[in-house]
């Protein structure tokens, strides 16, 4: 069945759940598919995050290539990917692990922004909470010029009501729906963060 081109928060939640249900670790295929949904979400945020969506698409494509290699089973989970690249030194920069690290950082921003949306009411300016979420997360990894551009362009974010409409989330169910996604997404984020921390990979170039 063809996947919709529109953002589907229910599909995102299901993929997060499947990702964590892999017995041997965090399932790579469902992790990658979840980022297809997140890319759509970045585009909903407007042109301000278009560069993030494009970067996510590129990284997803790279990881999908690894899942088609003869040694694709080595990349079945995030855990097996890290272990394989550390064991074999397949590239000087551990390309697959480095690629996933960039997606991991984007996930932190999405979860922070979703949390802000769930806590806000219609009087809160999304430009302010979006900027704050960005400063706490992705801004740490972007050069000054990009940070400055985001701070200016973030004012193009739609208001909360319009944003929820674009995300196809009923206003009366927004907090419930968003919190349920945030909870499982954070479990994936925290587990991945621990993997990279334990293996001293958080600063891969």
pLDDT averaged over every residue in the chain: 90
3-state secondary structure 34-82: HHHHHHHHHHHCCHHHHHHHHHHHHHHHHHHHHCCCCCHHHHCEHHHHH
> How confident is the model over 31-88, as pLDDT tens digits?
999 999 999 998 888 777 787 888 899 999 999 999 999 999 999 999 999 999 998 8
The count of C-alpha atoms lying within 13 angstroms of the C-alpha of 49, restricted to the half-sphere facing its C-beta, is 27
116 touches 175 (CB < 8 A): no
Sign of the torsion angle spanned by Cα atoms 163, 166, 172, 178: negative
> How confident is the model over 175-186, as pLDDT tens digits?
999 999 999 999
166 touches 85 (CB < 8 A): no
Angle at 107 between CA 45 and CA 140, to 5 degrees: 90
Q: How does DSSP classify residue 93?
A: T
Tell me the C-alpha distance between 53 and 160, whole Å. Answer: 20
pLDDT, position 50: 80
Is residue 14 in a domain? no
> How confident is the model over 191-202, as pLDDT tens digits?
999 999 999 999
Q: What is the CATH number of the domain that holds 121?
A: 1.10.3520.10
CB-count burial class (<10 Å; 0-12, 13-18, 19+) for 115: middle
Domain count, the chain: 1
Mean pLDDT, rounded, for 141-152: 87
Is residue 203 in a domain? no
Residue 128 has pLDDT above 70, yes or no: yes
Question: For the whole model, what pTM was predicted?
Answer: 0.92
Is residue 198 in a domain? no
Is residue 205 in a domain? no
Is residue 8 in a domain? no
The pLDDT-based confidence of 3 (bands split at 50, 70, 90) is low
Is residue 45 in a domain? yes
Q: Which of 12-16, 46-50, 125-129 has the highest mean pLDDT?
A: 12-16
Residue 111 structural domain: 21-193
pLDDT, position 44: 87
């Amino acid at each position: 069945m063809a996947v919709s081109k529109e953002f589907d928060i229910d599909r995102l939640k299901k993929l997060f759940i499947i990702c964590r249900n892999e017995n041997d670790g965090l399932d790579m295929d469902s992790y990658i598919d979840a980022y297809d949904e997140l890319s759509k979400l970045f585009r909903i945020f407007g042109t301000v995050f278009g560069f993030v969506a494009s970067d996510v698409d590129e990284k997803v494509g790279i990881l999908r290539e690894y899942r088609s290699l003869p040694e694709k089973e080595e990349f079945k989970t995030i855990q097996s990917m890290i272990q394989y690249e550390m064991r074999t030194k397949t590239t000087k920069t551990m390309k697959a692990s480095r690629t996933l690290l960039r997606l991991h950082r984007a996930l932190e921003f999405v979860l922070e922004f979703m949390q802000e949306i769930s806590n806000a009411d219609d009087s809160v300016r999304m430009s302010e909470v979006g900027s704050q979420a960005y400063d706490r997360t992705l801004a740490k990894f972007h050069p000054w010029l990009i940070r400055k551009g985001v701070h200016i362009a973030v004012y193009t974010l739609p208001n909360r009501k319009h944003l929820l409409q674009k995300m196809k989330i009923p206003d009366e169910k927004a907090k419930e729906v968003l919190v349920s996604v945030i909870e499982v997404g954070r479990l994936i984020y925290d587990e991945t963060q621990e993997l990279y921390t334990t293996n001293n990979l958080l600063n891969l170039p």
